[in-house]
Structure formats: structure tokens, C-alpha cells
A and B are shown apart, each in its own frame.
Chain A
Amino acid sequence: MATTETTESTGAEGGHESGVFPPLDATSFPSQLFWLVIFFGALYLLMSRMVLPKLGAILTKRKAQMDGDIARAQALKDETEAAVKHYEKALGDAKANANDIARDTKAKVTAEIDGEQSVLDGELSKKIKDAEARVAKAKAKAMESVESIAGESAADIVASLTGGKTTKVAVAKAIAGIKR
């Protein structure tokens, strides 16, 4: 390919310059090599000393930032999960506590009610007993009064009937006799 191009070039130029296909013209090699070494060397130095460290630093910094962010997000997530667990545990504890308190309170209240009930019952039955005793006493007293009234009435009746006097003792004896 190169040779055909060379002949074409020679034909077209008609020996205008050296007549050699320029990319293969050895006379230009020293100059090109000289400048290639200088410019490629310069490029290498610029890249390795200046440009690449800068670009690398940007990418490293971003990677570090992202890794840090991800780690922080993970830590926060773990923290949240721990908090949720803690909350659920607290909630369970509180529920259990509430149940206990409710049960205890119920038992206490029931016991109190029972106690008061029994006290009240005792008081009431005592009052009833007292009342009954009082009634019985009053009854007995009344009966006694009936006796004495009966005696007096009998004495009065006897007095008014017979006009005589009777002794209380005789009347009481008589009443006791009747009663018997």
C-alpha cells in the first residue's frame, strides 16, 4: 500500500519536493523523534506530576465521602432498629406491668370491699342484737309495769268494790298467784 502511494505521490508532485512518500521520508525522522521525545516526555511529566494526582484526589475524595455516608447511614439504621426494639420491649414491659397493677388493684379492692362488708355485717348484726335485747328488756319492763298496773288497778277495783283497803303485798301475792 505504502509503495503505491509513494509512486502516486511522486507522480502528482512531479519531483516537487523530495518525491518520497512523506510519512516514510527518513530525512524527517530525526526532527520528529526529537520533538516526540520532548513533547511526550513533557506530557508524561505533566500527567504524572500534576493532572492525574488532581483527578485521582477528586475520585478518592468522592469515594471516601460516599463510603462514609453509607457507613453513617448504616449506623443510623442500626440505631433506629435498636431504638425500635427498645421501644417494643418497653411497650411489652409496660403492658405486663399494667396487667399486674390492674390485677393487684382488683384483688386489693375486692379484699377491701369484702373486709368492709364483713365489718358492716358484724356491726349490723350487733346493732340488731342490741336492738333485740333492748326490745326484750322493754318488753320485760312493760310486763312488769303491767303487773304493777294490774296490781294497782286490782287494788283500786277492790277498793272501789269493797270499799276496803288492800295492801300492796296482798295484791302482789294475788297477782303472782294468778300468774302462776
Chain B
Amino acid sequence: MATETVVNDPIHQFRLHSLFDLFSVGGHQISFTNSALFMGLIVLFITGFLLMAASKAAMVPGRLQSIGEMWYSMIHNMVNNVLGEEGKAFFPLVFSLFSFVLIANMFGMFPYFFTVTSHVIVTASLALFVVGLVVVVGIYKHGLGWFKLFVPHGVPIVILPIISVIEIISFLSRPISLGLRLFGNILAGHIVLKVFAGFVVSMIAAGGIIAVSSVLSLGMAVALTALEFLVAFLQAFVFAILTCVYLNDALHPSH
């Protein structure tokens, strides 16, 4: 791939390439791709960082340990506030989801790094997993009574069927909204960022007054970078808190 294509093509950053092929299942080639490499790096980074943060176990935390504790406490409080005492079992899951999405998004902010969460299969799988877990845990804990979730209390019998249909549709749209929100935000952000950064290069290449005004495009790219860092954190946070809210339906279906 020529360098020029890399500069001008905002889609190039999402391209997967196989680092080595493993095996094929039912005609589908399973390969270790750049995406898989970055997934591995994400896991390594999270584990390594948090283990380092916890290694001293000081009574008065240092900088690294403070970050680790804040990271832990934020999700711990979130799970506690939304799910209550019974939600303790889901804390490692919510923590893993948040950390995975957060570090995937943050890694995506580095040039030449692959953004794992910019692929819909990753975000949609995580979202489907969460909603699937809600159904499984809900039925496991409450049996068929869990389906009362779709039959709200105190609704007149006449409009109950309509409400139930709406509730079911809203429930089924959860994995779509949860997965697409993250995917869309990261994808769009990266494309826009790349487009503005690409403008800088093309405008300078054009020369003259256009080259001077490329400063505007550069400013925009800088501002968008800051915004993308915010979005990277915010989307991870939103993903985690929505996971908690959905899991709450599994634990306490009567609302």
C-alpha cells in the first residue's frame, strides 16, 4: 500500500490484515490479525498496569496506585449504586468491559494503532453478550416471572398489549443501541479526525493561500483529538453504566 493512500484514505486505519493464518472452521479462515494483536496488547496493558498499581499496596497510595484505586472504585461504586449488594458478582464483568472498551478506545488515539472498538463485530458481540447475560440471569433468578419485566404494573388492561410490545421492542433494541453507539462514536470520530488531518497535508501540498489556511484544519484536528479523548472515556463509561442498568433488570425485574 503506497504512503499516499495511507495519508488520503480515512478508511485505511480500519483495515484488517492477517499477521498469520491459523486454521479454518466451516470455510471461515481464523487468522491472527492486527485487531487480535491489539486485543492482546489491551489485555496485557490493563493487567500489567493494574498489577503494577497494586504491587506496593501502600497504605498511602502513590500516583500509580491512586489511578488504579480510582479505576477500581469508580466501577465498584457504579455497580454498587445501580445493582446494590446482589450486583457484587457482576463487578468483575463490568470492570472488564469498561477497562477493555476504555483501553481499546485510548489505544485508538495513538497514530498507527489499531482501534479494536471501531469494528462493529467487537462492539456488537460485547453488547449481545451483555443483553444475553441479562436474559439468562433474569430467568435463572426469577424463573418465568422475569418476563413480568415486559408487563409493567398499573397499566390499564386495554393498552397493556401495546405497552408490552413496545417494552419487548425496546428490550430487543438494547444490544443494537449499546453496540452501535460505541462503534459509531469511535468510527465517526476516527474518520473525521483522519479527514481533517488529511486536509492539512493536501492543503499544504496545494501551496499558496490554501497552504496558509491549512492552519485552520490543523486547529480543528487538534480540537477533535481532545474531543476524541473525551469520547473515548465517555463511551467506555456509558457502556459500563448501561451494562449495569440492563443487569439491574435481570436482578430486579419489577420496575
Residues in A lying within 8 Å of B, measured CB to CB: 1, 5, 8-9, 12-13, 16-17, 21-25, 27-36, 39-40, 42-44, 46-48, 50-52, 54-59, 61-62, 65
Contacts and interface: CB of A to CB of B under 8 A. Distances in A.
A52 B57 CA distance: 13
A13 B94 CA distance: 39
A35 B99 contact: no
Contacts, number: 143
Interface of B: 1, 5, 8-9, 11, 14-16, 18, 25, 28-33, 35-36, 39-40, 42-43, 46-47, 50-51, 53-54, 57, 59, 61, 65, 68-69, 72-73, 76, 91-93, 95-96, 99-100, 118-122, 125-126, 183-184, 187-188, 191
Contact of B100 (A43, A55, A56): A43
A23 B179 CA distance: 13
* Top-8 shortest CB links A-B: A48-B92, A35-B36, A30-B28, A39-B39, A54-B54, A9-B11, A22-B14, A55-B72
A36 B188 contact: no
A162 to B, nearest CB: 142
Nearest to A6: B11
Given A32-B121, A47-B95, A51-B51, 13 more contacts: A9-B11, A13-B9, A13-B11, A23-B118, A31-B30, A31-B35, A34-B30, A35-B36, A36-B39, A43-B42, A47-B50, A51-B46, A58-B61
Contacts of B5: 12-13
Nearest to B27: A30
B72 A32 contact: no
A159 to B, nearest CB: 137
B33 A32 contact: yes
A51 B121 contact: no
Nearest to B60: A62
A66 to B, nearest CB: 9
Nearest to A21: B11
B121 A52 contact: no
B8 to A, nearest CB: 7
A54 B92 contact: no
